[in-house]
């Protein structure tokens, strides 16, 4: 059963995430190239999923849309992971005033609705990937900080940490060389979860016109623009919705796989 689950996850990664990742290397039709003669054209050899209201290849725009979503999600989640993990380790290891300041600040961020904060930021600084990445990184900070904080509280009293102190290691070396490797599994699982959440948030902002700027491809903008052509071509709404669903399900499956492989308690109970 486990092998079947892993095989399905690997197949989903190869079929969905890999093409989106290497989109610039694939022999795809230009997702921005318009041909009004092919407006609302049905499936063909050049466009297996048909063409949109401007004659652009739907499959090319889907793959490039997932490519852009993954870039924004991965970069923002990675930044949030690095900063949030560092803050969580500092709070749990140093304790005292540092712990209070960091964790109360994270509590303040948690109280703010992620979508509302992102909308306000993008409204002030303009839409586009350059604006989405930093604000999505800030939105993901509390989760990474809390995961790292909880994990460090569990391991800071372990014998190998005490041994590091006894050998004269500095606080920085203990945090980086001893504690960080032992909490990496929990952080990696949170990274996969944050990436999936960032994809959803990016798509929502793009749907509202506050994310990726048209005519660049984005799943959110494709869903938004398909509303006006729902009667003439309902498939233009179907395909980006299916692609977004499959992308999120695949990222969640990767999260489950990482949990199975990296969490020794889960492995031991299976």
Residue appearing with tokens 């498939």: 235
Rounded CA separation 42/13 (Å): 28
| Beta-carbon count within 10 A of 195 CB | 26
Q: Do 151 and 186 contact (CB within 8 A), yes or no?
A: yes
How is 221-246 classified by DSSP, letter by letter? Answer: HHHHHHGGGTTT-THHHHHHHHHHHH
Check whether the bond before 27 is cis (ω within 30° of 0): no
pLDDT, tens only, 59-109: 999 999 999 999 999 999 999 999 999 999 999 998 889 999 999 999 999
Q: DSSP class of residue 28?
A: P
pLDDT, tens only, 162-172: 888 788 888 88
49-269: CATH class: mainly alpha
Domain residue extents for the chain: 49-269
Pair of tokens at residue 15: 């079929």
Collect all residues with Cβ–Cβ distance below 8 Å to 55 and sequence separation of at least 6.
34, 35, 36, 37, 38, 39, 41
Rounded CA separation 121/240 (Å): 26
Per-residue pLDDT tens, the chain, 270 aa: give them. Answer: 677 778 888 999 999 999 999 999 999 999 999 988 899 988 888 889 999 999 999 999 999 999 999 999 999 999 999 999 999 999 999 888 999 999 999 999 999 888 888 989 988 888 888 889 999 999 999 999 999 999 999 888 788 888 887 888 888 888 888 899 889 888 988 999 999 999 999 999 999 888 888 888 899 999 999 988 888 899 999 999 999 999 999 999 888 888 777 765 554 444
């Amino acid at each position: 059963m486990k092998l079947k689950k892993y095989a399905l996850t690997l197949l989903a990664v190869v079929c969905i995430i890999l093409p989106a990742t290497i989109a610039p290397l694939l022999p795809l039709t230009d997702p921005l190239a318009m041909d009004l003669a092919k407006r609302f054209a049905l499936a063909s050899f050049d466009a297996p999923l048909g063409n949109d209201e401007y004659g652009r290849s739907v499959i090319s725009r889907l793959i490039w849309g997932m490519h852009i979503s993954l870039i924004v999600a991965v970069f923002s989640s990675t930044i949030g992971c690095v900063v949030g993990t560092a803050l969580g380790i500092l709070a749990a290891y140093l304790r005292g005033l540092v712990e209070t300041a960091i964790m109360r600040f994270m509590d303040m961020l948690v109280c703010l609705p992620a979508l509302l904060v992102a909308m306000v930021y993008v409204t002030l600084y303009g839409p586009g990937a350059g604006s989405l990445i930093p604000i999505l990184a800030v939105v993901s900070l509390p989760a990474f900080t809390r995961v790292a904080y909880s994990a460090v509280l569990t391991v800071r009293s372990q014998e190998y940490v005490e041994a590091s102190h006894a050998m004269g290691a500095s606080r920085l070396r203990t945090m980086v060389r001893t504690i960080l490797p032992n909490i990496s599994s929990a952080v990696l699982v949170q990274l996969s979860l944050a990436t999936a959440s960032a994809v959803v948030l990016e798509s929502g902002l793009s749907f509202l016109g506050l994310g990726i700027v048209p005519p660049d491809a984005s799943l959110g903008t494709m869903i938004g623009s398909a509303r006006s052509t729902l009667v003439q071509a309902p498939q233009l709404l179907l395909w980006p919705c299916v692609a977004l669903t499959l992308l999120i399900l695949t990222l969640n499956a990767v999260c489950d796989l990482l949990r199975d492989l990296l969490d020794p308690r889960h492995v031991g109970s299976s």
